[in-house]
Chains A and B, each alone.
Chain A
C-alpha cells in the first residue's frame, strides 16, 4: 500500500517567516501534486511535479520532487496571511489510473 506522510501536521507562524512542508513515502510515485484547501471548499491544484529532482516555483512557493520520486517539499518564502490553509500532497498511484493518494495535510496559519 502506498502511503504519503506529511510533516508538520500544524504550523503557526508570523507574517514574513519562511516555512517548509515535507511529504515523504517509501514508495515511488510517477508524479506528485500539491493542493491547497480552504475551509468549506475543495482542494485546488497548485503544482504537479513529474521528474525526479524537479523544482517548480509559483511566486513565493517553491516545490521540489526528490531525486528518487519518493518525497517532495513545499517551501514558502515570506509567508502572508493569505497563505493560510490546508496544504495537501498527493501522489499518483502505481496503477496509472489517475487515482490519487493523499497525505494527511499540513494546516498552516499565518498570523499578521
Chain B
C-alpha cells in the first residue's frame, strides 16, 4: 500500500460523457501527478500540481483538466469522452526532494476507465 488512494477503482461510461477521478496523496506530500496508461501508448505523464498550483504539463488533452484543492487532494476531469480515452489513470504523490535531488513518486492503485 503506497498510501495514495484513488477513487473510483473502475468506471464505465459512454462516449460524450464527463467523469471525475479523485486522488488523495500520501500524508505530507505536496506534489500530485496524473498519468494515463494505455496498451499502445504506455504510461504517459499528464499534469503535475504542487501545493495547489499547476507545475508541469504533459500530453494532456484540452478536454481534460485537473486541480488540486487546499486539502491537497486532486481531481482529474475528463469530458467529451471518446473510445480512445479508455485507459488506466494513475495518480502519484511525492514529498519535496532533498537539495534538488530526484523526487520519489508513490503511485496509487489507479482508476480503470472504460468508455463504451
Q: Which residues of A contact B (CB under 8 A)?
A: 30-31, 33, 35, 40-45, 48, 50, 88, 90, 92, 95-105
- Residues of A with C-beta under 8 A to B104: 45, 48
B101 touches A50 (CB 8 A): yes
B31 touches A98 (CB 8 A): yes
- The smallest C-beta distance from A21 to any residue of chain B, in angstroms, reads 15
- Residues of B with C-beta under 8 A to A98: 31, 33, 48, 55-56, 94, 97, 102-103, 105
**B contacts with A, residue count (CB < 8 A):** 28
A-B contact count, CB below 8 Å? 66
- The smallest C-beta distance from B14 to any residue of chain A, in angstroms, reads 24
A99 touches B45 (CB 8 A): yes
Q: Which of A31, A42, A92, A96 has the most CB of B within 10 A?
A: A42
- In the assembled complex, the Cα of A81 lies from the Cα of B56 at a distance in Å of 38
Decide: A100 near B105, CB < 8 A? Known: A42-B2, A88-B43, A95-B56.
Answer: yes
Closest A residue to B97 using CB positions: A98
A92 touches B102 (CB 8 A): yes
- In the assembled complex, the Cα of A96 lies from the Cα of B48 at a distance in Å of 12
B109 touches A42 (CB 8 A): yes
